[in-house]
Amino acid sequence: MTSAAPGKGLDTRIGIFGGGQLGRMMALEARRMGVHTTVLDPDPRCSAGQVADRLLTAPFADAGAARQLAQSCDVLTYEFEHIDAAVVSDAASVRPVHPSLEVLKLVQHRVQQKQGLAQLGFPLAQFQQVDTWQDMQQAVSVIGLPAVLKTATSGYDGKGQAVLRQTSDVEPSYQQLRPRSDMLVLEQFIHFEKELSVICARDRQGNLACYPAVENIHRNNILDITLAPARVSQEVAEAAQTLAQAVAQKLRVIGLVCVEMFLTKDNTLLINELAPRPHNSGHWTLDACATSQFEQLVRILCGLPLGSTQQTTPAVMANLLGDVWLAANGKPGFAAALDVPGVKLHLYGKHGTLPGRKMGHLTALAPTQDAALARALAARGGLTGANSPN
Ligand code: AMP
């Protein structure tokens, strides 16, 4: 097999750890550009495997498979961060991994992530590391209630966290979460005005391209709606972009980093967490940006110039969870949804419908933000028959 030097244009072969929807949308963009992708995932029917050029079916902990991925590609990336860093490290000795192993390790551990960001001077909600029951009591006395207790590892979409509202919540939450992680972190509960995120792209030369700040609405701790752009002042939007750029620069990210933030009631931005990969809050870029987040990552990995992050029209993204299929008895009303003007449907080809499982999303485009939101909600309602007169 011939091997192109990494980052030499469109003949670069990209290896992706993880075959979920992020890998799928990236592989689709790569395919459009004629770039070859190989996905590593344990599930032979995974989302990304259906569209990538090649699928390596193996457990993520299989160092031999990771090596094989590295040897058959020019450059590697990952679409989720809960992956064994030792395996990625081994693969990184064969081919470059972007974003770097250091960035991956930092985000894998919530406490290290927070400490790292705090040391670099980034604004965060007050937090305390918790190892023991004594630490827990001490942390509650410093931070006060309400507070949020989170596991340091393996938490995503609100898994591995509990909101402590009163003193009687403290011990049960500690007992429940402590065995799940090597460490916990207690965080001040932020009565935020809005949740925002910004995706920033950085190439190997250090050039930056930042997407507009977007507004995220969560339901049951899972992203539900993204409004692009965020309904905030220009000043706040620019401050959010400046913060995300600073994160990308200080961490020397090569690739994408999504910076999730809280906007407090006094207009302060606090970083909640980072994701060094394409992010659910950037799916709208496929339909409403000159360059999607996925194309941007493909460009960076291939050593091509960054694309414009210019937004072409107001857009609202609505996630489609397994609950939609369950509410529609397995047959969502796609015709009703697509009857709404300006709606783009994205399904991830997942086998098996579970509540809370991300099955797809739709993006509604319209001349105004309000109209885009109304269209997104109407289209999603159409999937479950919620818009029908009876
Ligand atoms: P995370 O897994 O940390 O992204 O948290 C998931 C969601 O829980 C966030 O998007 C917020 O909606 C909420 N959340 C997390 N941490 C806090 C906090 N310190 N204060 C208030 N809400 C929070």
99 near 79, Cβ under 8 Å?
no
Q: Are residues 132 and 248 in the same domain?
A: no
65 near 17, Cβ under 8 Å?
no
In a domain, 313, yes or no: yes
The percent of residues in the chain predicted with pLDDT above 90, rounded, is: 93
Please provide the average confidence, as pLDDT, over all residues in the chain: 95
In a domain, 272, yes or no: yes
Q: Are residues 315 and 233 in the same domain?
A: yes
Nearest atom (ligand 1) to Cα of 125: 19
Q: Give the C-alpha separation, 52 to 333, whole Å.
A: 28
CATH at 48: 3.40.50.20
For residue 159, pLDDT beyond 90? no
Mutate to test the pocket of ligand 1, among 272, 273, 280 (most ligand atoms within 8 A of CB): 272
Of 188, 204, 230, the residue that ends a domain is: 188
Q: Which residues contact 229 (CB under 8 A, 6 or more apart)?
A: 212, 213, 214, 215, 237, 311, 314, 369
- For residue 155, report the phi and psi dihedrals to the nearest 5 degrees: -100, 130
Q: Which residue minimizes the CA distance to atom 2 of ligand 1?
A: 158
Neighbouring CB atoms inside 10 A of 11's CB total 13
Rounded average pLDDT over 57-86: 96
Q: Which residue minimizes the CA distance to atom 1 of ligand 1?
A: 158
| DSSP state letter for 107 | H
When pLDDT is cut at 50, 70 and 90, the band that residue 45 belongs to is very high
Q: In DSSP terms, which residues pair with 234 in a beta bridge?
A: none
The residues lining ligand 1, judged by C-beta closer than 6 Å to any ligand atom, are: 125, 148, 155, 158, 187-190, 195, 218, 221, 272-273
Q: Are residues 86 and 160 in the same domain?
A: no
In a domain, 121, yes or no: no
Nearest atom (ligand 1) to Cα of 159: 2
Mutate to test the pocket of ligand 1, among 214, 221, 225, 269 (most ligand atoms within 8 A of CB): 221
Of 138, 157, 188, the residue that ends a domain is: 188
Structural domain including 291 reads 192-384
Distance between Cα 366 and ligand 1 center (Å): 30
Nearest atom (ligand 1) to Cα of 260: 4
Q: Are residues 177 and 253 in the same domain?
A: no
Q: Are residues 22 and 168 in the same domain?
A: no
Q: Are residues 207 and 292 in the same domain?
A: yes
Q: Are residues 182 and 247 in the same domain?
A: no
Q: Give the C-alpha separation, 69 to 253, whole Å.
A: 22
Closest by CA position to 225, among listed 331, 316, 342: 316
Q: Give the C-alpha separation, 244 to 262, whole Å.
A: 13
State how many domains the chain has.
3
Q: Are residues 227 and 163 in the same domain?
A: no
Nearest atom (ligand 1) to Cα of 156: 2
In a domain, 116, yes or no: no
Helix (H) or strand (E) holding 22: helix 21-32
Q: Give the C-alpha separation, 160 to 151, whole Å.
A: 5
Nearest atom (ligand 1) to Cα of 191: 21
Distance between Cα 34 and ligand 1 center (Å): 39
Q: Are residues 353 and 274 in the same domain?
A: yes
At residue 302, the pLDDT reads: 97
Neighbouring CB atoms inside 10 A of 319's CB total 20
CATH at 162: 3.30.1490.20
In a domain, 309, yes or no: yes
Distance between Cα 138 and ligand 1 center (Å): 22
Residues 250-260: tens digit of each pLDDT: 999 999 999 99
In a domain, 107, yes or no: no
Higher pLDDT, 295 or 155: 295
Helices (H), 178-290: 234-250, 285-288
Nearest atom (ligand 1) to Cα of 216: 10
In a domain, 331, yes or no: yes
Rounded average pLDDT over 237-261: 98
Rounded average pLDDT over 371-377: 98
Of 173, 188, 203, the residue that ends a domain is: 188
- For residue 220, report the phi and psi dihedrals to the nearest 5 degrees: 50, 40
Residue where the block lists tokens 């029951």: 133
72 near 334, Cβ under 8 Å?
no
Closest by CA position to 248, among listed 304, 206, 307, 300: 206
When pLDDT is cut at 50, 70 and 90, the band that residue 9 belongs to is confident
Q: Are residues 75 and 145 in the same domain?
A: no
For residue 174, pLDDT beyond 80? yes
Q: Give the C-alpha separation, 209 to 122, whole Å.
A: 20
Q: Which residue minimizes the CA distance to atom 9 of ligand 1?
A: 221
At residue 4, the pLDDT reads: 42
CATH at 350: 3.30.470.20
When pLDDT is cut at 50, 70 and 90, the band that residue 110 belongs to is very high
In a domain, 167, yes or no: yes
Distance between Cα 99 and ligand 1 center (Å): 24
Q: Are residues 158 and 274 in the same domain?
A: no
Q: Are residues 25 and 150 in the same domain?
A: no
